[in-house]
Structure 1
Amino acid sequence: MTVDQPMNSHGGMRLAAPTGNEVYQVVDYATEEIRESLAHIAEGALIKLRLVRLGSRGDAWRVVASVSLK
């Protein structure tokens, strides 16, 4: 995935799928360690993450694992 919008002061960030056809609004993180590792990732960075949809929050996602940060 590509970081479309880096993490903001509320912890939210936007990711784009490699095809560019899907966008993910990340609003939650399984651990503080994952959140901290993504806090300073720049726009345009390529990353591999595992996401879980947060059904009760509309189109919102939780990062449950970070596989690779570049």
Structure 2
Amino acid sequence: MSVVNEVTLKKMLKQYKYRDLTVREITYVISQYKDLKPVMDAYVFNDGSSRDLMSLTGTVPVSYRGKLAEWT
């Protein structure tokens, strides 16, 4: 998914309790870090239960000792 808009995010997050807040925050973060992409995936908890959760995947630029490095 190359371009993610608010409508797409709202559909992906339809079961989130604080969906509108989450959409605003994700929209802000991906506008600042263009390489990050939202991904829905099943997360399995220690008790064996699972939920679909969103994560951001990609590369974040980081300044280290005055040089720009990228962390994945």
TM range (shorter): 0.3 to 0.5
Q: Which has the higher helix share?
A: 2
Higher relative contact order (CA 8 A, sep 6+): 1
Per the normalisation by structure 2, the TM-score is 0.32
